[in-house]
Amino acid sequence: MAGLALGAVEARAQAQEDIVLGGSIPLTGVFAFAGVGIHAGIQDYLKIVNDAGGIKGRKIKYVAEDTGYKVDASVAAFNKITSQNKVTLYYGDSTGFAKTINPELERKGTMIMAGASFASELNDPKKFPLQFLPGPDYTEMFGILMRHIAKEKPGASIALVYSDTEFGRDPIAPGEKLATELGLKVVEKIVTPPGSVDVSTEVLKLRRARPDYTIFHGYVLAPIPEFIQQAKQMGMQSRFMGTFWSMDNSMVQQMGEAADGFMGVMPYRYYYDKEGTSPMLDRIRQMRPEYQSTAYMQGFLTAMLMTESVKRTLDAGKELTGANMKASLNTIKDFDTGGIIGVPISIPGNSLPVGRIYRFDAKQKQMLPASDWIQLGK
Amino acid sequence: MDWLYVTEVALAGLGAGALYALTGVAFVLIYKATRVVNLAIGEILMLGGYVFFGLVAGAGLSIWAAIPLTILAGAALGAVVERALIRPMLGESPISVFMVTIGLGSILAGVVELGWGADPLRLPEFIPNTPIFLGEAYLAPKVAYGALVAALLIAGAVIALRFSRGGVALRATARDQGAAYSMGIDVGRVFSLSWMAACATAAGAGVIVGAIGGISPTMGIFGLSVLVVVIVGGLDSVAGALVGGLLIGLVEALAGSFLGGEYKLLATFSLLILILMVRPYGIFGTHEIERL
């Protein structure tokens, strides 16, 4: 009898134990502009959940450490956070970290992880069974861009401009293959060393190729504006496009004249997008009256998907193990994100292959939709 | 071979090289007078870009007022750093002083990040934007004007070194500190002066580099290419910085266009090794200089 009572007490204690979301977050260093937004996004979503009573009465506690966007610091943060807390969910800051920590994640088997990386390599449920990407991977982003191009101008020529980093090189080879499949021609590939400031020689190369479209990948801001400005000065008519991390509205605004007409792929809706009913976006605008970056949306949605998988696991009466939570995540089908993404989403594997083309409007100083939502595989 | 293209690439390379040369001169000024390898030069350049941004976007000053103020701020920073960090290290091993400058670089990057945040920023447009054509060959206007300003500043530095009292004192100190001291030259002031001149030059270079590529707390990486420039040219030679800068700019541009961007650094560093093997003290450097 006493044992039974003790068991019940334990069970209740268990039921009220906080669920911990740990994070290796780049609050300083080269990726800090994103880290700050991600940090705020995660906190805000968890606040919404906790204010509403948590998940089955259990609050979610967010424990984050700054990493400076360095893999060793990220791993140290992971070790520190997981040794001091019983961590169920984890946010990692880079592809390098996601790959480094993967064996440890599998060995522990107690959590699922997502992060700032959209690396194509991570989009493999066999190799990375406990991780997911809260959006399309970089190759899928190219897929969305190229599908748009193929529709707008069949047979168009494309130049790929990318940074000589793991991030930059990620979608290049599969992107070329994809272009061929869609009947597009990749006429030039230009790689720039990381941190390069002056791109005059690269622009000369671009002019010789005369592409209809130029896709930048592996950058945040520099050297995209200088590229576009010089190309326009030389009378080039190419359309310029980017992928997720160069698509934040405040970043594009900074491009000055070069911003006009800049396009790219974005899986999330922008902070100011008031089209249709979007309770979550309304909530965000209420919580934070000033513009929030696309990195914020990324953190916010990641926290939403993570908590959703916890909820589904607990609802099914299962233990919160990595495998169970990942399985629950994969049951997400036609899920309404409250307007963060414009269409209902499903996560059949490790990624969310959906996005939309946005184009910068110089008059309104905003990225505005230039296509419908494009869902790969549909 | 398309000669027009080659010409355009070479011009772009020389333009970029002029900025390397300018920052290289800043590096050499300090090394020449004080034998300090200043690895924070890239971060001082970055700080110049941010100070300029702060004066124009934050304080609302006009660009033409902000440029001299930025350069003055650079000089002031140089004076403070020399007096507070470098002078107390006099007589310590070169490695210790070298480490101090590395620390200084990290501190400056951190300060900038605290003050302005980590987001990359764009400087207000102030360089004329009309395309420049030399005959048929296109030259990006920012690069062209940047190179022009760099050339003027380098010329100014060379003239000052040759003819001004401070310049003569600096050269005398570089040649023989003891002799300069006994001739009544205030060696301490020369050290201070060289840091001020160098940091002012770097801050000015930061404005130009920032105008071309934008500013961010990580733009100090520019200093890495400059280090190659001065090692190739010779750590204590202004002429070396000039030739080294143009050479590295040209090599980077040609390698980037004809081999691909991933070969830029490979080409630069291969050249560095080659030159070090043939002339370990750089093209124009003096023999007895110490390598770290």
For residue A90, give how far its alpha carbon lies from the nearest alpha carbon of chain B (Å). Answer: 24
Lowest average pLDDT, out of A79-83, A128-132, A275-279, goes to A275-279
For residue B182, give how far its alpha carbon lies from the nearest alpha carbon of chain A (Å). Answer: 46
Judge if A2-135+276-347 and A138-266+355-375 fold alike in CATH terms: yes
Write down the pTM of the prediction: 0.81
| Phi, then psi, of A289 in degrees rounded to 5 | -65, -20
For residue A159, give how far its alpha carbon lies from the nearest alpha carbon of chain B (Å). Answer: 14
**Average pLDDT value for residue range A221-240:** 88
Q: What percent of chain A clears pLDDT 70, i.e. is strictly above it?
A: 94
Given a cut of 80, whether residue B119 has pLDDT beyond it is: no
Which pLDDT value is given to residue A1? 44
Fold of A138-266+355-375: Rossmann fold (3.40.50)
Quickly state the pLDDT bin for A177 (edges 50, 70, 90).
Answer: very high
Express each pLDDT in B231-267 by its tens digit: 999 988 899 999 999 999 999 999 988 888 888 888 9
Quickly state the pLDDT bin for A378 (edges 50, 70, 90).
Answer: low
Q: Rounded to an integer, what distance in angstroms lies between the CA atom of residue B198 and that of residue B190?
A: 12
Place of tokens 């396009």: A263
CB B219 within 8 A of CB B213: yes
Given a cut of 60, whether residue A9 has pLDDT beyond it is: no
Which pLDDT value is given to residue B138? 83
Given a cut of 70, whether residue A338 has pLDDT beyond it is: yes
- Cβ contact B121–A230 (<8 Å): no
Bridge partners of A58, per DSSP, are A55
CB A246 within 8 A of CB A167: no
Residues 192-251 of B with CB under 8 A from A: 209, 212-214, 216-219, 221-222
Residues 111-170 of B with CB under 8 A from A: 113, 117-122, 125, 129, 131, 138-143
Q: Minimal Cα distance from B206: which residue of A?
A: A197
Segments making up each domain of chain B, as ranges: 3-217
Given a cut of 70, whether residue A196 has pLDDT beyond it is: no
Quickly state the pLDDT bin for B289 (edges 50, 70, 90).
Answer: low
- Which chain A positions have a beta carbon within 8 Å of B219's beta carbon? 195, 197
For residue B55, give how far its alpha carbon lies from the nearest alpha carbon of chain A (Å). Answer: 18
**Average pLDDT value for residue range B66-92:** 93
Average pLDDT, chain A: 92
Which pLDDT value is given to residue A143? 95
Q: Which of B13, B214, B221 lies nearest to residue A201, judging by beta carbons?
A: B13
Which pLDDT value is given to residue A195? 63
- Cβ contact A198–B120 (<8 Å): no
Express each pLDDT in B6-41 by its tens digit: 998 999 899 989 999 999 999 999 998 888 999 999
Q: What percent of chain A clears pLDDT 90, i.e. is strictly above it?
A: 79
Segments making up each domain of chain A, as ranges: 2-135+276-347, 138-266+355-375
- Which chain B positions have a beta carbon within 8 Å of A257's beta carbon? 125
Quickly state the pLDDT bin for B142 (edges 50, 70, 90).
Answer: confident
- Cβ contact A29–B129 (<8 Å): no
Tell me the CATH class for A2-135+276-347.
Answer: alpha beta
Express each pLDDT in A263-297 by its tens digit: 999 999 999 999 888 999 999 999 999 999 999 99
- Cβ contact B138–A234 (<8 Å): yes
For residue B241, give how far its alpha carbon lies from the nearest alpha carbon of chain A (Å). Answer: 19
Which pLDDT value is given to residue A194? 67
**Average pLDDT value for residue range A106-112:** 96
Given a cut of 50, whether residue A149 has pLDDT beyond it is: yes
**Average pLDDT value for residue range B87-98:** 88
- Which chain B positions have a beta carbon within 8 Å of A200's beta carbon? 12, 15-16, 139-140, 143, 253
Q: For residue B86, how many other CB atoms are within 10 A of its CB?
A: 21
- Cβ contact B213–A164 (<8 Å): no
Quickly state the pLDDT bin for A13 (edges 50, 70, 90).
Answer: very low
Lowest average pLDDT, out of A114-118, A150-154, A189-193, B107-111, goes to A189-193
Which pLDDT value is given to residue B135? 81
Residues in chain A: 378
What own/partner pairs with CB < 8 Å and gap ≥ 24 does A168-173 have?
A: A168/A194, A168/A217, A168/A218, A168/A219, A169/A218, A170/A95, A170/A119, A170/A120, A170/A121, A170/A138, A170/A139, A170/A217, A170/A218, A171/A120, A171/A137, A171/A138, A171/A139, A171/A141, A171/A142, A171/A217, A171/A243, A172/A217
Q: What is the H or E stretch that residue A75 is in?
A: helix A71-84
Tell whether A254 lies on the interface with B, counting CB pairs under 8 A.
Answer: yes
- C-alpha A26: how far from chain center: 14
Which pLDDT value is given to residue B292? 53
Which pLDDT value is given to residue A233? 84
Q: Rounded to an integer, what distance in angstroms lies between the CA atom of residue A58 and that of residue A43?
A: 16
- Which chain A positions have a beta carbon within 8 Å of B256's beta carbon? 192, 201-202
What count of CB pairs under 8 Å joins A to B? 117
Given a cut of 90, whether residue B70 has pLDDT beyond it is: yes
- Cβ contact B213–A251 (<8 Å): no
Q: Minimal Cα distance from B113: which residue of A?
A: A28
Which pLDDT value is given to residue B291? 52
**Cβ-count burial B200-209 (b if 16+ within 10 Å, e if not):** bbbbbbbbbb
Strands (E), chain B: 132-134, 137-139
**Average pLDDT value for residue range A322-328:** 97
Give B16 or A20, the one with higher predicted confidence: A20
